[in-house]
Amino acid sequence: MKKLLGLLIILCTTFSFAQTVYEPIHSDVYGFLDLMAQKGIIQFHDEIKPVSRAYIAEKLLEVREAGENRKEPADRRQEAGNKLTELEIEELTFYIKDFGMEISNLNSRPDNKELYNNSYATVLGKNPFDRYRLFSYSDSLFKINVSPVLGYETGKLDGAKHSHRWDGLYMYGYLGSNIGFSFRFQDNSEDGTTTDKLKNFTPVTGIVLSKTGTNNIQYSEINVNLAYNWSWGDISVGKDFLNWGYGRSGLLVLSDKTPSFPFVRLDIRPVKWLSFNYMHAWLSSGVVDSAASYSTLRPGADRIIYRNKYLASHTITVTPVKDLDISLGESIVYSDNLELSYLFPFMFFRSAQQFLTQGKDGEGGNSQFFLGVSSRNHIRNTHLYGTLFIDEITLEGLFNAQSQRNQIGITLGGSITDLPLDNTTFTLEYTKVYPYVYHNYIQTQNYQSSGYLLGDWIGDNADFIYASINYRFIRGLQGTIWAQYIRKGAEETIAQDGIQPQPPFLFGLRNNYSYLGAEVKYEITHELFARLQYQTTNSSIQQVNLSFSDKSVNEFYIALYYGIQ
């Protein structure tokens, strides 16, 4: 076994490509590269996020090559697909400074090897890539960047003052030619009579409270990753957010609604047109294991043990033609005992479930299938995308209404940029989630972690339409105006779970929500942000007598912070 492990390490080191550190999913560089792919300048595979900083550095260099072609004659520029605006050239320069360490690792600048390969240490100043850092160090073996996480937001919600303070630390780096690591910790405190302690029906990430008072809540967030990379793939262990698919207002398959959770992740890229992703995660069930719980010597301080809960997922993505990605995935939520069958990346989970249960419904887990399609620049400067999430489906129910039990979710969306005005992006999106999606009659097998949905925050028996206009004024300064309309039906009971046919879409008393919002955000320098936000919410809640009770709430916030949020 030791010889086999040693051989594997030697092989992986021999075919070393670049270390893996995952860029946080809310980084603005994703939006920039998304636009570059939407305009046909690069191909960017971000169906599953986060992606590595090394991969982002590669794409930034490809964009720079397209920008340098602006100096070529007009016919050469057209062949090179050059469509960069002056603002995008400035944005590119800004991001390249941030990813200088990764560009150094890639050895992509033979004309500047002396600069890029130099050892250096920087404290409260600029590193060799003209990027301010709290601390930055690099030598031939070890590289690290350290940044503070600081922020303060204040504003009013429904006429009452609300504030949010946070602080912490973010660092990432590389060891040798194959190992990458990252660590991010953030402590949070919110104050105000209107503080949302539950964060349920909102796209805001859920929380695990550490302390709560009358008008105050406190909670922390921690994300860590340790990854090993070789030329055609990487493997990582960590606790972080994972996103699957595309969507501006929500994601059907995996979103950042639930707090981050621990996982093992494997990514394989054997050829340019094919990739494979596997993930096994440890979720928080919130279901007490009464048999394992016990009393302690301190009165009132019982030891509470929760039931184990897991998620296994794998996805294959094919690119049959340039800029067209088709992803097919499967996942299963299971509980109690760690199951070896679900630890095999290439296992067909549904088949393994049937083997484990010997035909007994539900005992082996709650499985899902999903399909995603992304088309970029097949229509000029346009990104079209869609996701189909299948929680449960009966083929006979497609033709016989009495047997209908089709628990699915659908997202269709698209955006267009630079037409008719440069640096402007229009987005339109529709999502529909049928009744019972994400639910399961076994509490430890529902599609949740820490009490929050793994998928779209609106939940089941609901739909919405979302539209936004984003304009980038200068490098770092952008404004967004958006609107959303949500219809939400009744919440079903566990007793209704097995009923056939299932209740119609939007059954029960209905709630309607209209949102109109605006945001102005300015990245003053790397990771230093100022932000203004305004939102008005009109809710219309149906009563038992079928009348509607209407309410309007206004929110306004101003924030100054350092670190990606």
Q: Is 378 left (phi over 0), alpha (psi -120 to 50) or beta?
A: alpha
Q: Which two tokens stand for residue 297?
A: 């010597």
Q: What single-letter amino acid sits at 452?
A: Y
* Residues with Cβ within 8 Å of residue 142, at least 6 apart in sequence: 173, 174, 175
Cα–Cα distance for residue pair 332/345, rounded to 1 Å: 12
Residue 498: band (very low, low, confident or very high) from pLDDT cuts 50, 70, 90:
low
Predicted confidence at residue 79, as pLDDT, reads 39
Asked if residues 350 and 391 have their Cβ atoms less than 8 Å apart, the reply is no
Predicted confidence at residue 11, as pLDDT, reads 39
Q: Which two tokens stand for residue 424?
A: 């402007």
Least trusted range by pLDDT, from 18-27, 76-85, 543-552: 76-85
**pLDDT for 259-281, tens place per residue?**
999 999 999 999 999 999 999 99
Asked if residues 407 and 393 have their Cβ atoms less than 8 Å apart, the reply is yes
Residue 13: band (very low, low, confident or very high) from pLDDT cuts 50, 70, 90:
very low
CA distances from 173 to 7, 140, 181 (A): 26, 12, 6
Residue 112: band (very low, low, confident or very high) from pLDDT cuts 50, 70, 90:
very low
Task: Return the residue matching tokens 């949020």.
Answer: 565
Predicted confidence at residue 409, as pLDDT, reads 97
Least trusted range by pLDDT, from 86-90, 275-279, 439-443: 439-443
% of the chain exceeding 70 in pLDDT = 88
Cα–Cα distance for residue pair 275/298, rounded to 1 Å: 53
Q: What are phi and psi of 397, to 5 degrees?
A: -70, -15
Asked if residues 137 and 166 have their Cβ atoms less than 8 Å apart, the reply is no
Predicted confidence at residue 435, as pLDDT, reads 93
- Please check the confidence at residue 5 and state whether its pLDDT lies above 80: no
**pLDDT for 547-558, tens place per residue?**
999 999 999 999
Cα–Cα distance for residue pair 47/460, rounded to 1 Å: 23
- For residue 226, give the nearest of 174, 148, 280 by alpha carbon: 174
Residue 108: band (very low, low, confident or very high) from pLDDT cuts 50, 70, 90:
very low
Least trusted range by pLDDT, from 140-149, 311-320, 357-366, 468-477: 357-366
Per the prediction, the chain carries an average pLDDT of: 89
- For residue 115, give the nearest of 126, 104, 105 by alpha carbon: 104
Task: Give me the helices (H) in 513-554, please.
Answer: none
Pairing mode, if any, of strands 548-562 and 462-474? unpaired
Task: Give me the helices (H) in 345-442, please.
Answer: 349-357
Average pLDDT over residues 87-115: 79
Q: How does 36-49 read in b/e, with b if 16+ C-beta sit within 10 Å? A: bbbbbbbbbbbbbb
- Please check the confidence at residue 10 and state whether its pLDDT lies above 50: no
Predicted confidence at residue 493, as pLDDT, reads 72
Q: Which two tokens stand for residue 306?
A: 């929760």
Predicted confidence at residue 412, as pLDDT, reads 98
- Please check the confidence at residue 401 and state whether its pLDDT lies above 60: no
**Which carries the bigger pLDDT value, residue 63 or residue 352?**
63
H or E element that contains 374:
strand 366-376
Q: What is the 3-state secondary structure (H, E, C) of 467-523?
A: EEEEEEEECCEEEEEEEEEEEECCCCCHHHCCCCCCCCCCCCCCEEEEEEEEEEEEE
Predicted confidence at residue 78, as pLDDT, reads 41
Least trusted range by pLDDT, from 13-22, 516-525, 535-544: 13-22
Cα–Cα distance for residue pair 194/212, rounded to 1 Å: 13
Q: What single-letter amino acid sits at 511?
A: N
H or E element that contains 320:
strand 306-321
**pLDDT for 278-303, tens place per residue?**
999 999 999 998 888 888 888 877 88
Least trusted range by pLDDT, from 7-16, 241-250, 427-436, 537-546: 7-16
Residue 175: band (very low, low, confident or very high) from pLDDT cuts 50, 70, 90:
very high
**pLDDT for 318-347, tens place per residue?**
999 999 999 999 999 999 999 999 999 999
- For residue 190, give the nearest of 227, 163, 152 by alpha carbon: 163
Asked if residues 411 and 428 have their Cβ atoms less than 8 Å apart, the reply is no
Q: Which two tokens stand for residue 132?
A: 């301010």
**pLDDT for 196-220, tens place per residue?**
999 999 999 999 999 999 999 999 9
% of the chain exceeding 90 in pLDDT = 76
**pLDDT for 123-136, tens place per residue?**
999 999 999 999 99
Angle at 36 between CA 31 and CA 42, to 5 degrees: 125
What three-state secondary structure class fits 415? strand
Cα–Cα distance for residue pair 112/185, rounded to 1 Å: 35
- For residue 246, give the nearest of 513, 487, 478, 31 by alpha carbon: 31
Residue 106: band (very low, low, confident or very high) from pLDDT cuts 50, 70, 90:
confident
Average pLDDT over residues 382-401: 80
Q: What are phi and psi of 71, to 5 degrees?
A: -85, -10
- Please check the confidence at residue 8 and state whether its pLDDT lies above 60: no
Dihedral sign of CA atoms 564, 414, 452, 154 in order: positive
Give all strands (DSSP E) within 84-159, no chain letters. Answer: 120-126, 132-138, 142-157
Asked if residues 343 and 389 have their Cβ atoms less than 8 Å apart, the reply is no
Cα–Cα distance for residue pair 497/504, rounded to 1 Å: 13
Residue 400: band (very low, low, confident or very high) from pLDDT cuts 50, 70, 90:
low
- Please check the confidence at residue 397 and state whether its pLDDT lies above 80: no
**Which carries the bigger pLDDT value, residue 140 or residue 185?**
185
Q: What is the 3-state secondary structure (H, E, C) of 96-110?
A: HHHCHHHHHHHCCCH
Q: What is the longest distance spanned by two Cα atoms in the chain?
A: 81
Predicted confidence at residue 534, as pLDDT, reads 98
